[in-house]
Amino acid sequence: MALITCENAALAYEGNTIVKGLNFSVNSGDYLCIVGENGSGKSTLMKVLLGLKSPAEGKILFGDGLTKSKIGYLPQQTAIQRDFPAFVREIVLSGFTGKSVFKPFFSKAEKQKAADIMQVLGIDTLAKRCYRELSGGQQQRVLLARAVCAAEQLLILDEPAAGLDPVVTQELYMLVSDLNKKENMTVIMVSHDIEQAVMYATHVLHIGETPLFFGTTQDYLQSDICRLFSGKGGQSS
C-alpha cells in the first residue's frame, strides 16, 4: 500500500469548495511537488494530509506504517510565528518530541543529528541565539531543521523557500533532494515556483481550477498545463 492515498478528496471552508476530485498517492521514497497559484488550496491540502482539517469529501489513507508522529512538517510562515520566544537549539531539538518545545532529555543520537542538520543549513553558529532576534531567512532555516529532525518517514514542506535568498534557496533544495535520494526520505513540497521546485521532484500534483495534473515529473514537463503555467506557452501564472 502507498504511504498516502488521497481518494476523491474535496477541500472546503464553511461550505465553500476550494478544490475537488483530488486523487493521488505518495509512495515511500517519492518526492512529490505540489504546485498551483496562490489560493488554490495547497496549504489547506497539507493540513488535511496532517489530519489538522477534515476533507469535505473523500478520504486520506495512511499506509506503510505511517503515523502523524513520523511526519516532519514545515508550515507556511505567518507573521505571528516570527516572534516565538525560544532558543534556536531548543526549537530544532523539539522536532524530536513532536509535541512540546521543552523536553528535558534528548539522546546522543538526537543531539548529533540536530547538530549535523544545523551545520548543513548554516545555522550552527546561531544555536544559542534567541529565535525572535533572527532574520526571516535564518528563522526559516531553523524551522526547516526542526522539521527534518521530526521527519522519520515523511517530510512535508509548505513554501520552504519563502523569505530565502537565491543562494540559500538552492542549498535548501539540494538538502531536501539529498535527504530524498540518499536517505530515502519521502518528501512532499508545496511551491508556487514551478520551474525551480519540480527539478528535484519525482512526481507533481498541480491543483487549481480544472484541469488538474497528477503524475511523474517527466510527464508533467511535457504537459500543456505545465507549459501554460511556467510561462512558456503564453499565459503565465
Ligand X SMILES: Nc1ncnc2c1ncn2[C@@H]1O[C@H](COP(=O)(O)OP(=O)(O)O)[C@@H](O)[C@H]1O
Residues binding ligand X (CB under 6 A): 13, 18, 36, 38-44
Rounded least distance, CB 77 to ligand X, Å? 12
Q: Which is nearer to ligand X, 78 or 235 (CB)?
A: 78
Return the one option of Mg ion, ligand X, none that residue 77 interacts with (CB less than 5 to 8 A, by type).
none
The end-to-end CA distance of the chain, in Å, is 35
Contact status, residue 228 vs residue 210, Cβ threshold 8 Å: no
Q: Which is nearer to Mg ion, 35 or 148 (CB)?
A: 35
The three-state secondary structure class of 235 is coil
What span, in angstroms and rounded, lies between the C-alpha atoms of 118 and 107? 17
Contact status, residue 53 vs residue 44, Cβ threshold 8 Å: yes
Return the one option of ligand X, Mg ion, none that residue 44 interacts with (CB less than 5 to 8 A, by type).
ligand X
Under rule CB under 5 A, which residues in 38-77 are in contact with Mg ion? 42-43, 76
Rounded least distance, CB 110 to ligand X, Å? 31
Q: Which is nearer to ligand X, 36 or 95 (CB)?
A: 36
Q: Does 237 bind Mg ion (CB under 5 A)?
A: no
Return the one option of Mg ion, ligand X, none that residue 169 interacts with (CB less than 5 to 8 A, by type).
none
Residue 178's H or E segment, with its range, is helix 166-182
State which residue has the least CB distance to Mg ion: 43
- 136-150 helix and 108-120 helix, angle to the nearest 10 degrees: 140
What span, in angstroms and rounded, lies between the C-alpha atoms of 42 and 11? 10
Return the one option of ligand X, Mg ion, none that residue 36 interacts with (CB less than 5 to 8 A, by type).
ligand X
C-alpha cell of residue 93: 531539538
Give me the residues that bind Mg ion (CB under 5 A), please: 42-43, 76
